Amino acid sequence: MARRPGAGLGLRARLLASSIVSDYLHDLFSLRGRRALVTGGSSGIGLGMAEAIGRAGADVVLVARRKAELDQAAERLRAHGATAATISADLAVRDDVARVCAEAGEIDILVNCAGNNIRKPMAELTPGDYELTIAVNLTAPYALGQHFGPKMAARGWGRIINVGSQQSISAFGDSGAYGAAKAGLAGLTRSQAEAWSARGVCVNTIIPGFVLTPLTAPAQAIPGRVEELAARHMCGRNGLPADFAGAAVFLSGDASAFVTGQMLFVDGGFAVH
């Protein structure tokens, strides 16, 4: 019978070994003393990442449009012992973005997860559709980065996580403006990383697979589509917001100090299957 690791150690030795491991993991992954701003933090991937970052010790500021959902999300974080504040704002409106910058205070970790996707054939997209999609998915992350990035660099430490899409690298039907925005977001990540990484600010993009969230509800409503997409993932299932907890904590902390300008695929193998 295989022996359990550490079974031959005395109690004192096991406690010491456990303490050493605990201290090591704390140094790598603890976010205590950090303050994070998470857009799109009231639901879906944004909420999953916010919850993980908060449970790892950071104070979290959630940003989204709907106050009732924001309040529910904040209570969910607080139930896990996290500190959570909220700012209700429409990131398609530049004055609202400026207000977020003013109200959020000093931020160490910026997570750009807010998104919208107007699903129309390319030929039917209006200039208004395009501009609204770009405003939320690309212009707002740019504006927030322009405000917080240089401040992080001046302090010598910061993290920016931009949440992209499979459409950052591939084309999908009936979402041309969204694809353009998400491809642009991956490019913005590289530009921000080039600008600020030498002064301690790591900037990366997370690329999800198909994730069961409110944003993907229209696709989920198509008969057979959820099963079809699940089969595209090597893991054999679609993603859930909880699948992004580990990546969120890793990219938010000291463990990722030499990771910047990258696309991290949290997609169950979707992109390579």
At 65 the three-state DSSP class reads coil
Helix locations, 80-232, DSSP H: 94-104, 127-134, 140-155, 176-196, 217-220, 225-232
**Which amino acid would we find at residue 273?**
H
- Write out the H or E segment, with its range, that includes residue 24: helix 11-29
Distance, in Å, from the CA atom of 11 to the CA atom of 145, rounded to the nearest integer, reads 50
CB 38 within 8 A of CB 61: yes
How far, in Å, CA of 114 to CA of 18, rounded?
Answer: 39
**Best CA proximity match to 205, nearest among 258, 271, 253, 159:** 159
Question: Crossing angle of helices 67-79/44-55, nearest 10°?
Answer: 30
Name the catalytic one among 24, 130, 142, 178: 178
CA dist 165 and 219 (Å) reads 15
- 178 annotated active-site: yes
Active site (catalytic) residues: 178
